[in-house]
A and B are shown apart, each in its own frame.
Chain A
Amino acid sequence: MHLDHHHSHDGAAAVSADAHRPDGRRRALRIGLGGPVGSGKTATVAALCRALRDELALAVVTNDIYTREDAEFLLREAVLPPERITAVETGACPHTAIRDDISANLEAVEDLEDEVGPLDLILVESGGDNLTATFSKGLVDAQIFVIDVAGGDDIPRKGGPGVTTADLLVVNKTDLAPHVGSDLGRMAADAKAQRAELPVVFQSLRAEDGDGVKDVVAWVREQLTAWAA
């Protein structure tokens, strides 16, 4: 868990990574989801919400690049009530809004806690970006990098900060592997070489039983347990 145990001055929070809200309560765990365009970030967020919403107080922040499509998809799919989904505008630079200048995202998570809290978990989806886009530790406590098998099975080998350092690497759309000629064994070996002991999940959200997200759910539960400890 990335946490700085320093506390803000009174009033509105001044320091982003504070573990406590101004009222002294522990804030929600924040998990970031990043990765290339179309890899399945929103689909994973939606599946996580469906799996966890009955037992946890959840909210979502989306960072679309030039539309509100991710937020609108989540609203249309009714994975959460509308007041629990906030869209942040990123000014053509999604990685800036999650890494270099996180103020708009911090406001979004704080407003969600103020308005619909207390919350257990806030998922922050980055706009689709490149392999170097990672979340600031001032914004999220842990991050998931989502790639897919159709984006080329050499992505784990190429590495980059997302693939190499994310707390969880998700290789999505395994159902497409036979159709696009991706070698899952090779992707797993390359990921292992890049990430050593950091976990990797292979998933397909097209699974008939709708349970394709179960490994990510298990990982999220572990993070929540560690956060609450």
Chain B
Amino acid sequence: MRLPAAVNSLLLRSSGVLIFLILWETAPRLAWVDPYFVPPLSIVVREIWLLLETGDLSRHLLVSSWRAVTGLSLALVVALPLGIILGRWLTGLASALEPLLRLLSQINPFAMLPLFLLFFGIGETAKVAVVTWVTLWPILFYTIIATRTVDPLQIKSAAALGVSRSEMLCKVILPAAVPTIFIGIRIGASLTFFILIAAEMLGAGSGLGWLVHNSAMNYLIPRIYAGATFIVLLGFLLNRLLLYIEASLSIWQGSQSGSPVAGQSRASSWRPDRGSAVAGTAILVLVLILGALEVRRLNQEALAGASSSSSHAKHFGTPADSSDGGL
């Protein structure tokens, strides 16, 4: 009884995507658009398959994810404690610093990109630093707001028991602040992808952004689409993963408060628990570890390639890559 309804709603919700996919296939085939610039879906899928087969795609995917997650984690490590201190204890300093922080956060990150490349070179540091920079601000702001606006009654009922400072932090302030902090994290995560892809296009030897850029330089049009599809997919997955962790950390909110996106659609059918929060976090940690290994391997390969004749670069045919290397 429940299955048909579920299938129905799934069909309904995905009908837009389905129509889009069908158009993608038919429009180039019927020559409504130039199939050279817009290759039909089946060609792109075949290209994806080829890339998957050689392992190239998963390698670039892993590298991009690693950069995104590392940058995000670094931003968390900096912004969370800072936000808590500014929001809870140094409230005077927080309001004094606010104009400066706003100014910094409003600098267009794309304008900062060349600066980051200048300071950190085209190595991993630049990419991770760029991601950290853009995600830092929303996380910082939302952490300050979240910790500042904890219900004073809740603080009071804990204080009446004579709790210690750390107990107040861990048992009251943080749990109360988590939903709001997560809004900042998700805003940061959505920015991550724009900036990371741009950074990889400007100066990198790997990653999905590089893959697309490199394909464009070499007129490998289906490969551009294959890479772009994966970029969309990766952004979608990261957002989903964060929603998943968020929902499992804030089941207590019900559907009336907090983030409506996360709450409403989920509350009815699926109740995540702490286990799924652990699972979600485990996936992120896995990306961190595997990505780090892959990045190290790639960098060593690049070094080896640079010292001998650049066989690696030739394999991909990358004039753009070697010119960027001169930065």
Partners in one complex: no
Residues of A within 8 A of B (CB): none
Residues of B within 8 A of A (CB): none
